[in-house]
Chains A and B, each alone.
Chain A
Amino acid sequence: LPEDFDWREKGAVTPGTCGSCWSFSTTGALEGANFLATRKLESLSEQQLVDCDHECDPEEAGSCDSGCNGGLMNSAFEYTLKAGGLMREEDYPYTGNDRGTCKFDKSKIAAKVANFSVVSLDEDQIAANLVKNGPLAVAINAVFMQTYMKGVSCPYICSKRLDHGVLLVGYGSAGYAPVRMKEKPYWIIKNSWGESWGENGFYKICRGRNICGVDSMVSTVAAVNTNSQ
């Protein structure tokens, strides 16, 4: 595994913000996988997931994806697999509300899911899947993110109750921690709150202890190479 790795440097991460974190995390992972499969970076539609994805978790009655009321990345991958794929952002733009009807147009699919899976709670496996399969959809507890501005976040205490969906795009071997004069290995996370938040929209959280539950629910997705079709 490389010491440091960052998909942003390889052109696999789109810009962009979105109010529906679970669809942001889902589209971000599929954008990366689609880039790996087709070498094209396409910004995919979160609004299609918000309007059209009401996939339920088979294990939990009533736990269905529902726009601004929340969703799950794995259920969203399942929806995308069944629906045939996601449209481009430009063809199905983000409106910021979930009162619209589904306007999915099968003829305008830009990315297709081949398969998706959950990565075990093992940081080397998470790093290996990140390097091999592209950015990963992860869940996290966001309590420290409301006041976060920069640096490597490594709270002494942080709940592992997951309440936010983000995108894992890379990792660094050492992030300078001025206060404790320590070098800290960290994950690089793309958040959905815009570039005026955090480090130009990104968050760094230290590795090693499943801090804030960041290693607890990691999903990787593979895309179909639509170039050949």
Chain B
Amino acid sequence: SAEAFSAEGSEVDPLIRQVTDRQDGAEPHLLTEEHHFSLFKKRFKKIYRSQEEHDHRFRIFKANLKRAERHQKLDPSATHGVTQFSDLTPSEFRRTYLGLRRLRLPKDANEAPILPTDN
């Protein structure tokens, strides 16, 4: 469940509360996503150079909300939700913030001596 944050970034509510139906029939779910996106932009000071970029990032943000919900189901002992990376696609995230070469243990690496682990 993505956490709702106030503009100051503190948690105001650990769960997304189901928004009651509005008179004008606005889709509550959409309202929630837009609401979260505006909090996200405020909290992480996100500014997009064009309306087109903004809309593109909003689409990615919505997909990442769903991804956070999936992660929450797969990883219930942690809390998953909106982070500073919520407007990045998984591949943008990997390309920008990860950076380990394809990993194999170098065969010539020294093996650490076995240490005693009792008392």
Contact = CB atoms under 8 A, between A and B. Distances in A.
Interface stretch (B22-30, B34-42, B50-58, B75-83): B75-83
Interface stretch (A31-39, A101-109, A159-167): A159-167
Contacts of B86: 147
Contact of B117 (A63, A71, A127, A157): A127
A72 B103 contact: yes
B115 interface: yes
Given A125-B115, A148-B83, A155-B75, A139 B103 contact: yes
Interface string B89-101: 0100110111111
Interface in B48-76: 64, 67-68, 71, 74-76
* Interface footprint category on A: 35 or more
Nearest to B64: A147
Given A118-B109, A118-B111, A180 B100 contact: no
Contact of A125 (B76, B104, B117): B117
Taking residues whose C-beta sits less than 8 angstroms from the other chain, chain B's interface range is 35 or more
Interface string A119-156: 11000110111001000000100111011111111111
A117 B84 contact: no
Contacts of A197: 83-84
A88 B29 CA distance: 50
Given A1-B117, A118-B109, A129-B115, A162 B77 contact: no
A8 to B, nearest CB: 20
A193 B99 CA distance: 13
7 contacts: A19-B96, A71-B100, A128-B116, A153-B75, A155-B75, A156-B74, A179-B76
